[in-house]
Amino acid sequence: MKIISLRSLPRARTKALSWWIERGFLTVGLVALGLWCAVSLNTYVFQQRERANLAQVLSSSHKPPEKLRSPIKDGDFIGEIDIPKLDLSAIILEGSDERSLRLGVGHIQGTALPGDLGNVSLAAHRDTFFRPLRKIRKNDEIHLITFDNSYRYRVDWARVVRSNNVNVLKPSQEPTLTLITCFPFYFVGSAPERFVVRAHKEPMQETHEDQHSQVALSGAVKSGALRRSQD
């Protein structure tokens, strides 16, 4: 019969405890990874479905309904943002609530809508849709595509402001676009600052056929079928 000494007993218990702790951390890690994959897949499917719906509406021979002129609520479809130089393309939803920012880029309530005079303000997470904004430069083009039309903006500046600075959301006399995300981009936790991009609208309106081609091209980029060329 094997005899276990009293000296070896604490070491055996410590080893067993370490084994259970390791397995516990491994389980938690696997669960977290599974949740992340599920959320990412849900977001990807949502983006592809809404992009296909937009392309279908724009390819129709009938004039699309002016959906942005009717009352809108959190989570409603607004359009699509496309920044060719950054290979950034994402669906825009109304509101900056948790669901809207998880599934796409959020249109900040109370600011102008695409096509209206004023300051169109959009927000997104720095670790998802707006991560490429760290590479944006002055004069880069930004496209907003809606059911009604397509609008082109040109970047004027990008700067960092404090998180409580709401001046960037103020209405403007000219049609402008403001993009907002947390900063620093790789900060762990609640970021103390905001990265802001301001752009002005250029006098260009595309036909619905042009919009359809642009949306179809954007979808092809996301599926890996081809590379988008800059204008």
Q: What CATH number is attached to the domain comprising 121?
A: 2.40.260.10
Give me the pLDDT at residue 151, please: 96
From residue 207, give the alpha-carbon distance in Å to each of 57, 147, 222. 13, 11, 23
Average pLDDT over residues 82-89: 96
Give me the pLDDT at residue 217, please: 44
Q: In this structure, is residue 24 part of a structural domain?
A: no
Average pLDDT over residues 52-73: 71
| pLDDT one-digit tens code per residue, 117-130 | 999 999 999 999 99
Does position 4 have pLDDT exceeding 90, yes or no? no
Q: How many structural domains does the chain have?
A: 1
Range of the domain at 99: 71-223
Residues contacting 181, CB < 8 A, separation 6+: 123, 124, 125, 126, 130, 133, 194, 195
Kindly report whether the global pTM for this prediction surpasses the value 0.75: no
Does position 228 have pLDDT exceeding 50, yes or no? no
Closest residue by Cα to residue 157 from 178, 172, 127:
178
Question: Do 100 and 74 contact (CB within 8 A), yes or no?
Answer: yes
